[in-house]
Structure 1
Amino acid sequence: MSNQANESQYFDLHTTGIGYLNRIREVKLKKGQPFLAVTVAALCGSKDDVEYRHIDCNVVGAEAEKLVRRCIDAEKANKKVLVSFRIGDCWADSFTYQSGPKQGTPGASLKGRLLYIGWIKVDGETVYEAKPRDAAPAEQQGTDQGNEGDQSAA
């Protein structure tokens, strides 16, 4: 119990959905380690009149990074890369347009951390699907059930 007092506690804000991967890129910093970034065009609204919310994400975690890197060639070839996703810690980032017709006016963008990809479809074809986390091998489930039966008989 004393360990619990020393543990950090967090409130997680997760956004889940389906969206297209765009602008997959390596961001190089003057100081610090480079990181993988992507813009997720998240689908929302009616299926008949879809709207998009663009979320600029840092890709976090080895598995998510590996999966996004697998999509680079397809995205560069202008193929539609659709994913189910979990994004954490979304926030709005305000800025001022530096050029173009909106120069000098304020703007905002959504940002977050891409934490998880459940599946990937490229041009409608499923190329990746995550395995369920809680699924145990069938043999192990059968063995566990057999043991439970033995215990109840004792």
Structure 2
Amino acid sequence: MSTQNNQQAKYFNLHTSGIGYLSDIREIKPTKGKKGDSYWACRIAALVGPADSAEYRVFDMNISGEETVQLIKRCQEAVEAKKKVLVSFVMGDLRYDTFTYSKDSEYHKKGDTGISLKGRLFRINFIKVDGELKYQLEKRQSAEQDN
């Protein structure tokens, strides 16, 4: 539980950390007639399980915080070039959303219900592009952001 700015408001935070492959970096703009500001989003296919036979859990995340937005935007060119962009990340506000498939695919039929895992991406600990380290969060900075 954390309190911000010595105010009485209290929050219960659920943070999830992992390592995964970054994809689908995009700016979301409100559709015509809708209010609100544009924001950035991405997908991360998080690695789960033994290193020699890992599985993926795909998270669709809104990006929070100017520094995190800038780090992800720096990766956009590499992602579009189909390079392997591996990130260590921390997300909050994990939730799910259901949807209905609009067409048949290899795994689902039109009309089937699907589930999308969503969250708020708020910290990047490292970025590697094709195995080369491009960014590393300083340990001191990481500890400060956890408070």
TM-score with structure 1 setting the length:
0.81
- Listed as ranges, the gaps of 5+ residues in structure 1 are 136-154
- Equivalence map 1:114-129=2 (5 Å): 114-129=121-136
Between Structure 1 and Structure 2, which shows a larger proportion of strand residues? Answer: 2
Q: Normalised by the size of structure 2, how large is the TM-score? A: 0.85
Report the 3-state secondary structure (helix = DSSP H, G, I; strand = E; otherwise coil) of the residue aligned with 1:103: coil
Larger radius of gyration: 1
Matched AA of 1:17: G
Q: How many residues align?
A: 132
Structure 2 distance, partners of 1:90, 1:134, is 23
For 2:139, give the aligned amino acid.
P
The residue correspondences of 1:39-54 to structure 2 (distance < 5 A) are: 39-54=43-58
- Structure holding more helix per residue: 1
Residue of structure 2 in register with 1:20 after alignment: 21
**Mapping of 1:125-144 within 5 angstroms?**
125-133=132-140
2:94 equivalent to 1:87: no
Distance 1:56 1:62 in 2: 18
Report how far residue 105 of structure 1 moved.
Answer: 1.1
Look up the SS of the partner of 1:133 in the other structure.
helix
Aligned residue in 2 for 1:10: 11
Residue 73 of structure 2 is matched in structure 1 by 69
One-letter amino acid matched to 1:48? D
Over residues 7-59 of structure 1, what are the superposed CA-to-partner deviations in whole Å (9 max), with x where a residue is unaligned? 21011001001001010111111221111100000000011101000000000
Corresponding residue of 1:150: none
Kindly report the root-mean-square deviation, in angstroms, between the aligned alpha carbons of the 2 structures: 1.6
Runs of 5+ unmatched residues, structure 2: 143-147
Separation (CA, whole Å) in 2 of partners of 1:126 and 1:84: 11
